[in-house]
Amino acid sequence: MENTSTRDSKNPAADAQPGQEYVPARSDIVRSPRIRKIQITAMLLLLCAAIINYLDRSSLSVANMTIREELGLSATEIGMLLSAFSLAYGLAQLPCGALLDRKGPRIMLGIGMFIWSLFQAAAGLVHNFTQFILVRIGLGIGEAPMNPCGVKVINDWFNIKDRGMPMGFFNAASMIGLSVAPPVLAAMMLAFGWRGMFITIGVLGMFLAIGWYMIYRDRDNSRLSAEEIHYLQAGSVASRKEPLSFAEWRGLFKQRTMWGMMIGFSGINYTAWLYIAWLPGYLQSTYHLDLKSTGLLAAIPFLFGAAGMLLNGYAVDALVRRGFDAVKTRKVCIISGMLLSAAFTAFVTRATDTTSAVTLIGMALFCIHFAGTSCWGLIHANVTARMTASVGSIQNFASFVFASFAPVITGWVLDTTKSFSLALMICAGIAVVGALAYLVLVRKPITDGAA
């Protein structure tokens, strides 16, 4: 860290009078080498955590058919296992957000990552449906801090005009995890069996959890210069320093904007979770592909999703730097992306071969994750800093509780109709409703003084 007490013509803080706080001008917003190093380190660790996280989430989907045969499970029961994770994940978001605002990402993500990895490894030891349900619930609770921690870290260490791209990279890491998951996990299954696959990625996650806790430091526990503090705070929604009280947290549910974000993001996650949970099974059952071919083809749509996230991050940063309103820009990206994703999902039902199906699903994921990245970015632009983790966790809570119906509804539709068509049309309709929620309900920022 630079010594800010040294008087230097290049250091405007040195010109402040004794006892007078230095407040840099807008043109003085500069990212120090130390802040840049912290940003790079934090993002690399988050990217690795996100990739491991989505390898874990994808494991049951990839092993779907093999586990069904060995344990004698129906499509509805597999859907229940997938839904158990997302429901537990969603419910755990509520305490997670409040704890994160108080304890910080270092502790919360470190503990969460270790817990979810432990349960992931335990999945390789189950022998019946009940044991599997319990393991999936533990996995969901452990993974709850992941996304709110990512939002908190980016909010803490990046200026508001620089948050679009890291948010895009963070979200894209999840899609990279999903895209590499089918071929990597299929290869692990062929080499070690599905039990060995679960244990291997669980152990990797435990080592990463230890590394995160040893390396990362929270912003509140870091000594920063006046220029560094100004870079991090300039342009953000004004915020008090003290932690969020329970009364303030409870008051978030009285805000129309909060409900718009909860309902709207549910449309994002329902779509995303349907494809995460059932894409490999869809390709295998509809086009009669083997495990190896399914692993390779299922990777492609998730690469489309990663591209959508990266493009959103780049586009939003570029537009905001050119003077476009940060909130309105993100809302346009959200609404247009969700409506386009709904259209592509509806057309998947008309696909007649694997090429057209994979392409249409890829475009649906590109658009929904283009929108989803701006949903998280909207928290940065529209919410006071001391509330970001709580708002993010409440948004995630609602969306995952709702999205937990996607796997089991899809499994029931498949058992009943022997087709995915109705499930895909339901998904398209839900995405449209989510877009309308952002259009109609998300109007005012969430601040300390909001009613």
pTM passes above 0.85:
no
Confidence at residue 20, expressed as pLDDT on a 0 to 100 scale: 36
Of 185, 403, 177, 171, which Cα lies nearest the Cα of 309?
171
Fold designation for 32-217+228-235+246-441: Growth Hormone; Chain: A; (1.20.1250)
Among 23-27, 47-51, 156-160, 217-221, the range scoring the smallest mean pLDDT is 23-27
Residue 80, both tokens: 């229940």
Average pLDDT score over residue span 183-201? 88
Confidence at residue 29, expressed as pLDDT on a 0 to 100 scale: 64
CA distance 360 to 351: 8
In terms of phi and psi (left: phi > 0; alpha: psi -120 to 50; beta: otherwise), the region of 34 is alpha
Of 337, 336, 348, 277, which Cα lies nearest the Cα of 307?
337
β-partners of residue 383 are: 446
> pLDDT (tens digit, 9 = 90+) per residue, 11-57?
443 443 333 333 344 445 677 788 889 889 999 999 889 888 888 88
Rg for the chain, CA atoms, rounded: 22
Please give the torsion angle defined by the CA atoms of residues 295, 43, 167 and 164, in that order, rounded to the nearest 10 degrees.
-130
pLDDT exceeds 90 at position 278: no
pLDDT exceeds 50 at position 145: yes
CA distance 414 to 417: 5
Question: SS3 string of 338-407?
Answer: HHHHHHHHHHHCCCCCHHHHHHHHHHHHHHHHHHHHHHHHHHHHHECHHHHHHHHHHHHHHHHHHHCHHH
For the chain, domain boundaries: 32-217+228-235+246-441
CB neighbours of 330 closer than 8 A, spacing ≥ 6? 316, 374, 375, 377, 378, 381
Among 187-191, 225-229, 240-244, 378-382, the range scoring the smallest mean pLDDT is 240-244
CA distance 50 to 272: 15
| Helix ranges (DSSP H) in 123-163 | 129-143, 146-157
β-partners of residue 8 are: 11
> pLDDT (tens digit, 9 = 90+) per residue, 88-100?
888 887 888 778 8
Residue 90, both tokens: 């969603």
Residue 361, both tokens: 């699903």
pLDDT exceeds 60 at position 451: no
CA distance 58 to 262: 24
Grade residue 443 by pLDDT with cuts at 50, 70 and 90: confident
